[in-house]
Amino acid sequence: KFFMIYEEKMRNLGISKDELAKMYSPGRGTNSTVYKYNDRLALKVLNQDGLRGYDEKEFLNILGIQNSTCVFPQEMVEVGEGSLGYLMDYVQGTTLIKIIKKIDFSTLIAAIKRVEEDTHELSKIKMIFEDLNQGGLMWDEEKYKIRIIDTDFFRKADEATEEECYERSIESFYSLIEQELGIIDGIGSRLAEYLQNNSEFSTLYAEHILSSLRGKNRSVIELIEKAIEIFEQDFGRRPKNIEEMEQLLEERVVKQGICVTPA
């Protein structure tokens, strides 16, 4: 039975199903629903699919872990008449994909560096990011940093080295950031097409791919900084964020009425 080990001492929050239905819910997934419990904590309540999909041993391995990037379950609780879930930190913000192009580059780069540092810390206890997706990346509007909220399927890989754990986790994170920034997918993306047609950027990206295949990921920050450098050279000013890059390209198209290609 799920949570068998903790069943006898699990705290009941004293919230009925009717009261739960009236609580503010910032998100709902196939396995659970998240509610704002108070200004500091969120309550994640599992449904039947969620209960069937969880491995108790793996879940207990992540329970109570403190990390400034990843939001781990902190306390298992009972809600209503036998509904199970857990409390975790409440993140005041929005999904990263909705705002990433508006974040100034200095703030974004600092946030990515923080994720890299925190991922290194988690790799020391052999933690690996599993099932990381765009919905799980949040932008903390109070602390100006990236938070990873869907940690339910993260797991400890005792058979792997610390370096292997880091590389497997950070690869998943970098891939999502590259996609959200729109700097690598050339299909329907004017910015990606512009950058990929620049020999310096395309060479650097190829080096990133080769490094990843060898199990040694290079930071996505290098790609961001190269993109900034290219725009500063081509447009005579340093863009503050991805949104401004896209605006500069759009303005050039409107003024010249031609396809945008790097000089």
pLDDT over threshold 60, residue 143: yes
pLDDT surpasses 70 at 232: yes
Question: pLDDT tens for residues 72-97?
Answer: 999 989 887 778 889 999 999 999 99
Distance, in Å, from the CA atom of 234 to the CA atom of 239, rounded to the nearest integer, reads 11
pLDDT above 70 coverage of the chain, percent: 92
Residue type, 49: D
Please list, residue by residue across 65-97, b when 16 or more beta carbons sit within 10 angstroms of its beta carbon and e when fewer do: bebebbbbbbbbbbbbeebbbbbbbbbebebbb
pLDDT at 180: 93
- How far is 97 from 95, CA to CA, in rounded Å? 6
Sequence-ordered list of residues with C-beta below 8 angstroms from that of 159, at least 6 positions apart, any chain = none
pLDDT of residue 2: 46
**Is residue 116 pLDDT above 70, yes or no?**
yes
Task: Out of 1-15, 37-51, 138-152, 192-206, pick the least confident.
Answer: 1-15
- Inter-residue contact 127 to 62 (CB < 8 Å): yes
C-beta of residue 183 within 8 angstroms of C-beta of residue 227: yes
**By three-state DSSP, how is residue 18 classified?**
helix
State the Cα–Cα distance between residues 207 and 210, nearest whole angstrom: 5
Please tell me the distance from the alpha carbon of residue 138 to that of residue 89, in angstroms, as a whole number: 13
> How far is 151 from 149, CA to CA, in rounded Å?
6
Per DSSP bridges, beta strands 145-148 and 127-128 are unpaired
What tokens were used for 210? 């080769």
- The owner of tokens 């929050």 is 13
pLDDT at 226: 98
**What is the pTM assigned to this prediction?**
0.89
- The whole-angstrom separation of Cα 249 and Cα 214 is 35
Report d(CA 179, CA 190) in Å as an integer: 14
Per-residue model confidence (pLDDT) at position 5: 47
Question: Tens digits of per-residue pLDDT, 172-203?
Answer: 999 999 999 998 865 558 899 999 999 999 99
User: For residues 147 and 67, what is the distance between their CA atoms, to the nearest angstrom?
Assistant: 10
Q: Whose CA is closest to 154, among 60, 33, 42?
A: 60
